[in-house]
């Protein structure tokens, strides 16, 4: 299909709300054309594999995994339109036509004026942090994200959590746990002064809180605050479409807006974004920084050539940029986003029905097991979420990820472990990859593990890398 046609079809998708909206049941708005076969393993094989991986699911070989819920990052299934777009990659070093398509898509769906492509989200975080943060600055945000905070720290800044308290309580039913507590912003401003706050770091569908949304109403208040004090907002837009779906479902006055409209409204309340296109936009690799300020753009465009690549590809191939451009359009399609989020709800609902402790309300991209309540007999310094993820793998070949004390890392000042209130195991659902039956198998395995939880013992860390230790740390049973 010629590229122009691909893009026309894509444009037709974005408001395809249909009668299925009125039905309680939903189905995937696609059919499967090609499949990837899965390998089943025996328990003995898995016991050996997890031992060799140092009880860290990041160190398992993918061939040893049956259902891979490690992450939704770069693991989604691209559409036939995205694949056909890839065949239209213009791999010119400079001025690739796919860059201009991507720029057009970012302007259309997110509204930001200037685009700087990067190889993935952290490339954009690196650039924005290096440009905007000076030593001794403070960057308030609605809960930290691992790579985001590390880049802020490496640039000399310190992250300050200003999310509502409810976000730290896995049982609290607040429907917008991604909201910012404005009084926390006021307190920080009073303490350090506005010169020391280069920007507000605001995420939509806050990952570390359990995929929890921020409301439009709250973001509007944050915007008022930002304008009043002249402090810009940099938006982590990685899962903005998922956040928009929750707003449509839950926020009064938003039911009749399309997800695409809400995405645009959210972005319009901010000054720029960092984006990992590996999530909402469903590509295997890619990301970008997008801003409205021409001076900031100029600096970012200059810096990207040092660390990523020329400013019209920034670490992506032309074909990748095309797939992102098409994926952005697909990400705001109502039927798509509904099926995506409702599949996560389906898995979470099954676990709740069986009494398994999970973060509530269920988030947009993952179900988070609450390891503190799942394994109350394992103290946090014996890494309950880490061992729970390892045990789930042994139980059923299902790979998940620790989001607790290991991910939180060490305090750069004191050198001690940070002990986050949330000690979680993330079962992250890639988009358009697994079926309802995979969710059933996953729920069954988690429930079985929960019934036998008393036999699970803690771990000790035997190797700890300096940065982002959760990726490569190794453990042994105590």
Ligand X SMILES: Cc1ncc(COP(=O)(O)O)c(C=O)c1O
- Known catalytic residues are 93, 145-146, 236, 279, 403, 470
Bridge-based pairing state of the strands 272-276 and 233-236: parallel
Q: By beta-carbon distance, which residue lies closest to ligand X?
A: 121
- Contact with ligand X (CB under 6 A) among 77, 203, 209, 375: 203
DSSP letter string, 375-428: -TTS-GGG-HHHHHHHHHHHHHSEE-EEESHHHH-B-TTT-PBP--S--EEEEE
> Radius of gyration over alpha carbons of the chain, in Å?
21
293-to-41, 109, 296, 308, 341 alpha-carbon distances in Å: 53, 18, 5, 21, 33
The Cβ of residue 362 has, within 10 Å, a number of other Cβ atoms equal to: 21
- Contact with ligand X (CB under 6 A) among 84, 129, 276, 343: 276
* CB closer to ligand X, 68 vs 236: 236
Specify the stretch interacting with ligand X by CB under 6 A; choose among 30-38, 117-125, 173-181, 371-379.
Answer: 117-125
* CB closer to ligand X, 122 vs 338: 122
* CB closer to ligand X, 287 vs 458: 287
Sheet holding 424-428, edge to edge: 366-370, 424-428, 401-403
Q: Of residues 237-256, which lie at the interface with ligand X (CB under 6 A)?
A: 238
Min CB(310)–ligand X separation in Å = 20
Min CB(121)–ligand X separation in Å = 2
H/E stretch holding 60: none
DSSP letter string, 290-322: EES-HHHHHHHHHHHHHHT--TTTTT--HHHHH
- Site mask, ligand X, residues 280-309, x = CB under 6 A? -------x----------------------
Task: Note whether 325 and 109 are within 8 A (CB).
Answer: no
The reply on whether position 278 binds ligand X by CB under 6 A is yes
Distance CA 355, CA 437 (A): 20
- Contact with ligand X (CB under 6 A) among 101, 122, 235, 301: 122
H/E stretch holding 115: strand 114-118
Min CB(207)–ligand X separation in Å = 4
Task: Note whether 364 and 239 are within 8 A (CB).
Answer: yes
- Contact with ligand X (CB under 6 A) among 207, 243, 270, 428: 207
Helix segments in 332-381, DSSP class H: 334-353, 371-374
Min CB(160)–ligand X separation in Å = 17
Q: Of residues 143-162, which lie at the interface with ligand X (CB under 6 A)?
A: 145, 147-148
Give residues with Cβ within 8 angstroms of 306, minimum separation 6: none
* CB closer to ligand X, 77 vs 356: 77
The reply on whether position 178 binds ligand X by CB under 6 A is no
Count residues contacting ligand X (CB under 6 A)?
A: 14
Specify the stretch interacting with ligand X by CB under 6 A; choose among 7-15, 120-128, 340-348, 468-476.
Answer: 120-128
Min CB(119)–ligand X separation in Å = 8
* CB closer to ligand X, 120 vs 212: 120
- Contact with ligand X (CB under 6 A) among 85, 89, 117, 121: 121
The Cβ of residue 35 has, within 10 Å, a number of other Cβ atoms equal to: 6
Min CB(382)–ligand X separation in Å = 26
Distance CA 160, CA 22 (A): 42
Site of interaction with ligand X (CB under 6 A): 73, 120-122, 145, 147-148, 203, 207, 236, 238, 276, 278, 287
């Amino acid at each position: 299909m010629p590229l122009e046609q691909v893009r026309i079809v894509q444009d037709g998708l974005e408001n395809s709300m249909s009668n299925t909206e009125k039905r309680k049941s939903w189905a995937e708005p696609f059919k499967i054309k090609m499949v990837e076969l899965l390998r089943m393993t025996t328990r003995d094989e898995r016991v050996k594999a997890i031992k060799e991986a140092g009880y860290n699911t990041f160190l398992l070989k993918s061939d040893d995994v049956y259902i891979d819920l490690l992450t939704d990052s770069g693991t989604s299934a691209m559409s036939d339109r995205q694949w056909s777009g890839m065949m239209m990659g213009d791999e010119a070093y400079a001025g690739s036509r796919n860059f201009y398509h991507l720029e057009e898509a970012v302007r259309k769906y997110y509204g930001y004026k200037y685009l700087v492509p990067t190889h993935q989200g952290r490339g954009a975080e690196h650039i924005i942090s290096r440009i905007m943060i000076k030593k001794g600055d403070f960057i308030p945000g609605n809960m930290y994200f691992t790579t985001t905070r590390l880049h802020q720290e490496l640039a000399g800044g310190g992250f300050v959590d200003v999310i509502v308290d409810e976000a730290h309580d896995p049982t609290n039913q607040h429907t917008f746990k991604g909201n910012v507590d404005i009084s926390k912003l006021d307190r920080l401003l009073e303490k350090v002064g506005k010169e020391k706050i280069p920007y507000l770091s605001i995420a939509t569908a806050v990952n570390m809180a359990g995929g929890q949304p921020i409301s439009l109403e709250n973001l509007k208040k944050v915007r008022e605050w930002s304008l009043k004090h002249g402090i810009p907002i940099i938006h982590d837009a990685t899962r903005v479409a998922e956040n928009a779906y929750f707003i449509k479902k839950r926020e009064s006055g938003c039911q009749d807006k399309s997800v695409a409209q809400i995405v645009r409204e959210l972005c319009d309340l901010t000054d720029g974004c960092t984006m990992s296109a590996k999530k909402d936009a469903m590509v295997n690799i890619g990301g970008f920084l997008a801003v409205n300020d021409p001076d900031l753009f100029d600096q970012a465009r200059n810096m990207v050539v040092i660390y990523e690549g020329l400013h019209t590809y920034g670490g992506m191939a032309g074909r990748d940029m095309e797939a992102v451009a098409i994926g952005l359009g697909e990400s705001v399609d109502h039927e798509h986003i509904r099926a995506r989020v409702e599949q996560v709800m389906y898995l979470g609902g099954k676990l709740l029905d069986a009494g398994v402790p999970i973060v509530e309300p269920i988030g947009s991209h993952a179900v988070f097991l609450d390891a503190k309540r799942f394994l109350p007999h394992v103290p946090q310094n014996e890494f309950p979420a880490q061992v729970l993820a390892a045990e789930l793998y042994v139980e059923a070949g299902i790979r998940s990820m620790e989001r607790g004390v290991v991910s939180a890392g060490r305090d750069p000042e004191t050198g001690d472990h940070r002990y986050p209130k949330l000690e979680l195991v993330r079962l992250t659902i890639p988009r358009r990859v697994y079926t309802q039956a995979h969710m059933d198998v996953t729920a069954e395995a988690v429930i079985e593990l929960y019934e036998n939880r008393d036999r699970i013992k803690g771990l000790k860390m035997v190797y700890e890398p300096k940065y982002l230790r959760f990726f490569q740390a190794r453990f042994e049973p105590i």
